[in-house]
Structure 1
Amino acid sequence: MGASKQDREEDYTKSTRSKIKFAPLVVPRHRRLQTLAVFGWTIALPFSLGLFFLLCSIPLLWPIIIPYLIWILAIDQASVKGGRASKRIRGSRFWVWFVGFFPVSLIKTADLPPDRKYVFGYHPHGIIGMGAIANFGTEATGFSKLFPGLNPHLLTLASNFQIPLYRDFILSLGVCSVSMKSCQNILKQGPGSSLTIVVGGAAESLSARPGTADLTLKRRMGFIKLAMRQGADLVPVFSFGENDIFEQLSNERGTRLYKLQKRFQAAFGFTLPIFFGRGLFNYNVGILPYRHPIVSVVGRPIRVRQVDNPTMSQMEEVQAQYIVELKRIWDEYKDLHAQGRTRELTIIA
């Protein structure tokens, strides 16, 4: 099916910066709902903080707020013990609108029997990882139908679970901490347990630019060691279009901006790419992503033998198999889903 007139308008204005291109007054209702859903997810964290501080300004609520803070900071261990996923939240129509905005789709290339455990490696990180939350944090792209019997957990920074209200929202999506303790607890749940790690992390987000696929992978051995210790199969996932939904200010290696961002990352554990996209009511100025398809291809599983203390050579052997499968996905699907690429998939670090 060809792109609609509005889709073509948005694609055109993505490369037109001379003036603001406002959205027309008459837009189909479903498109408005899709934009509002993406806007809602984008502001979820700051909105949660703002709402919490507003509630704190009401003394009558302190008898509730104080125990809640004690609960999240000192008692609740859900983020490292498998989360608190809600089928109702994961299956909400909100996520159907969210997924429809881009749209996001999930492609299965091999069966994943539920009698095994799995570590999904998601690539690339992109600016925010919209495809990761759509495919592994919700049911809007049909994960459970494609891979019946698997219990998915998307992993994120442990610091996100110290943010009041926001933490409870992402816990309801099955999102858990990316700490080693959390990963081990999830995989110890037995056959069918799975987790998804956005392997490139903060470092890779600095390389996220339209038309490219620059991956930070060579020195990422933690998820390989985890899989080997737990006897979990490794499954590479490549999301075509993840790097195309935002643009980023030039920060090539060696520039002052790049060095500043790396110092920030070293100090706080994450970084802040200087990015831009579209707005709520315009097509070319704002912090919302562009409407660009994200196609996540789930590769063939790499069978991993359980080893309590894998050596570096053993991990490098498994990593080599993983990279071969990741490149196979790229080579097989790039001409269909990465037609606008400016260069081939590159492992930069």
Structure 2
Amino acid sequence: MDTITCTNDLCLAETKTNQENILLDIIKEVCGEPTKLSQKLVGKVNRIIADCDLTHHASFHKLVTADDSTTTVLGFMHQTAAELTFDEQAELNEAIVNKIQDKIPIFTDELENLKQHTGGKESRNEKVRELQQNLDEKLNTLNEQENEKVELMMEWLNHRLHDVSSFSTQTNELYISEAVGIQWAPLNVPMSRRLQTLAATAWICLVLFGEAAAILLFIQLIYSQFWWLTLLYGIWMLNDLDVCHRGGRKIEWVRNWSWWNYYRDYFPIKLVKKQDLDPSRNYLFACFPHGVVCSGAFGAFATNALNFYKVFPGMTCNMITLGGHFRVPFFRDLVLALGSCASSQESLLHLLDKRKHTGKCVVLFVGGAAEALDSHPGEYKVILSRRKGFIRVAMKSGSPLVPVFSFGEPDVFRPPNNPQDSLLRKFQEKVRQLTGISPMFPIGRGVFQYSIGVVPLRSPVTTVVGEPMEIVKNMEPTDAEVDAVHAQFTQRLVALFEAEKSKYLKDHEKVQLVIT
């Protein structure tokens, strides 16, 4: 492209020089003919030609007149140039024009020759330009091909380096894990999963150590400068002990904490209904299995994380738990805020009384703490045969019984094996009889590793609410009437389990519901 530009510039310069020479020759010819101009004007023009060499300046320079009003075809750039009067300028211009008209035929012939000469050069320039363009295109194609080869080679090398690095990292992790018997969690875990693990960890710590921490805090405050506030709280708590038997004190703000949303997504937990409920009635939910710590039912009924109010429009729920939790300072307030009430007949009848409440779902774990001792992964063993108190409550209140089953609940923890005649089981039963709490060992995973710890395992839990079973109100039911209703409910529970297990359990053909 530079060659073509230079060629064009040379052609233009040559053409420009020819024009200047022709103009200079015409002026000289005019001055050489005395009959054309006066002797005085010829002398001035000759002096101008002598002082200003037109061949070293651009063509058509102007010659400034005396009054600086017009110009002639002659001129120069310096201030020392001679000046012409208006009449002398007009005379000179007329002579030049006449001379040019005489030379028009000559100019025409020379112009044709110039066009032919220029045309040949343009043709050669076009060929040069075309060759240059083809060469540029080929060079660009070669550069693109080379760049593609380099990119492919770099991509291949990066891939191989990544494979080698991953293999080295996995080998080191495997070696460490095999050495200490621990499977470590990866470092590149999304923040959402980290928050879920944190929520599940905080929840299990609250369940296992919350009461002890609350008691220690209460004692610490007694011996602090805030002893008087602690004393006032203690007096108020003693007067408020019966609230857990009179409907509790639910606080929706606590049930709506974002903590519970991360807790729900950790497992995850789902709530499924088989039939809509009538908001003008109260229902007794009989939940199975208890599991180690009721992970699924807690998320479904003690929080709003699973949108209970949307799943069952017009209904509210209260989760039933041991009355001893409501005697622990500070801890009791959190349990009450979540909507829990005491597991007493007085509390159940109060919640199910249609004269006081409507649209209530009272969630009761029939197996209780004793059922927690039989919680093992893949096993569904529930205590129902000898539990008939909830049947009497349902009959006295006339509230429909609703079977509720949490599929996946036993898979959340891996407690140690404790057969009926083992020393561990005897110890657990003795402690349960004395305290009402089963001393479970919730073996799960850790925060940064998957092998051991108290954090629940990431195992899905689906809580299915079955169809209500109508109960005839009977304030004084006999044992035979209670047994009949109990047998009917047992059939409903088994039917619910068999109908839904294929949807939520792996190897459901091998899983059976064991009722004791």
- What is the TM-score when the length of structure 1 is the normalising length? 0.91
Tell me what 1:302 maps to: 469
Question: Does residue 55 of the first structure (1) align with residue 55 of the second (2)?
Answer: no
Q: Indicate the larger mover: 98-107 or 33-42.
A: 33-42
In the alignment, structure 1 residue 192 sits paired with structure 2 residue 359: yes
Q: Tell me, which stretches of 5 or more residues in structure 1 are unaligned?
A: 1-15
Query: Aligned pair in 2 of structure 1 residues 75, 330: CA closer, same or farther (>3 Å)?
Result: closer
- Given candidates 171, 174, 190, the residue that maps to 1:28 is 190
Write out per-residue CA displacement over residues 128-172 of structure 1, whole angstroms, 9 at most, x where no aligned residue: 001121111011112111111212100110100111111111111
> Counterpart of 1:299 in structure 2: which amino acid?
G
Shift of 1:202: 1.3
Q: Deviations over 1:271-292 (max 9, x none)?
A: 1123300111211210111000
Aligned residue number for residue 31 of structure 2: none
1:126 to 283, 291, 294: 291
The whole-number CA distance in structure 2 between the counterparts of 1:281 and 1:55 is: 34
Q: Taking structure 1 as reference, are residues 210 and 85 closer, same or farther at Cα in structure 2, changes over 3 Å only? A: same
Query: What's the counterpart of residue 393 of structure 2?
Result: 226
What is the deviation of 1:264?
1.3
Match of 2:274 in 1: 109
CA contact (8 A) 1:118 1:195 kept: yes
**Matched residue, 1:147:** 312
SS state at 1:237 partner:
strand
Deviation at 1:54, TM superposition (A): 3.7
Q: Take 2:437 and 2:390, find their aligned partners in 1: how far apart are those partners?
A: 18
Structure 2 distance, partners of 1:195, 1:18, is: 47
- Output the amino acid matched with 1:345: L
- 2:438 matched residue in structure 1: 271
Change (3 A) 1:72 1:154: same
Check if 1:201 corresponds to 2:363.
Answer: no
Match of 1:84 in 2: 249
- Please tell me whether the aligned partners of residues 222 and 231 of structure 2 are also in contact (alpha carbons under 8 angstroms): no
1:239 lines up with 2:406 in the alignment: yes
Say whether 1:42 aligns with 2:209: no
Distance in 2 (alpha carbons) for counterparts of 1:213 and 1:76? 36
Letter in 1 for 2:404: V
Q: Tell me the equivalent position of 1:93.
A: 258
Asked if the contact 2:241/2:327 (under 8 Å) is kept, the reply is no
Distance, in Å, in 1 between the alignment partners of 2:346 and 2:235 is: 21
Judging changes above 3 Å, is the alpha-carbon distance between structure 1 residues 254 and 34 closer, same or farther for their aligned structure 2 residues?
same
Counterparts of 1:178 and 1:17, CA distance in 2: 48
Alignment of 1:314-329 (within 5 A): 314-329=481-496
**Paired residues, what number?**
332
Calculate the aligned-residue CA RMSD, in Å.
Answer: 1.7
**Aligned equivalents of 1:316, 1:234: Cα separation in 2:** 14
Deviation at 1:37, TM superposition (A): 1.1
CA offsets per residue over residues 274-332 of structure 1, 9 Å max, x none?
33001112112101110000000100000111100111111112112211221122111
Give the partner amino acid of 1:224. Answer: I
User: Which of 452, 456, 461 is matched with 1:285 structurally?
Assistant: 452
Structure richer in helix, relative to its length: 2
1:18: Cα distance to partner? 7.2
Aligned residue type for 1:100: D
Residue 479 of structure 2: which of 301, 312, 316 is its match?
A: 312
Per the alignment, in what secondary structure is the counterpart of residue 192 of structure 2? helix
For 2:401, give the aligned amino acid. Answer: L
Match of 2:316, SS?
coil
SS in structure 1 of the partner of residue 390 of structure 2:
helix
Q: What displacement does 1:260 show?
A: 1.5
The 8 Å contact of residues 81 and 186 in structure 1, kept in 2 or not, is answered as yes
- Secondary structure of the structure 1 residue equivalent to 2:455: coil
Give the ranges of 4+ consecutive aligned residues of structure 1 lying more than 4 Å apart after TM superposition. Answer: none
Q: Secondary structure at the match of 2:218?
A: helix
> Equivalents in 1 of 2:431, 2:440: separation in Å?
11
Residue deviations 1:25-58 (CA, integer Å, cap 9, x gap): 2211111111111111212214434443443342
Q: Distance in 1 between matches of 2:393 and 2:241?
A: 24
Higher relative contact order (CA 8 A, sep 6+): 1
Partner of 1:137: 302
Distance 1:97 1:53 in 2: 32
**Contact 1:237–1:296 (8 Å) recurs in 2:** yes
Which structure has the larger Rg? 2
Q: Structure 2 CA distance, aligned partners of 1:312 and 1:190?
A: 28
Question: The residue matched to 1:114 in structure 2 has which SS?
Answer: coil
Say whether the 8 Å CA contact 1:211–1:340 is kept in structure 2. Answer: no
Q: Does 2:377 align with 1:210?
A: yes
1:177 to 342, 358, 368: 342
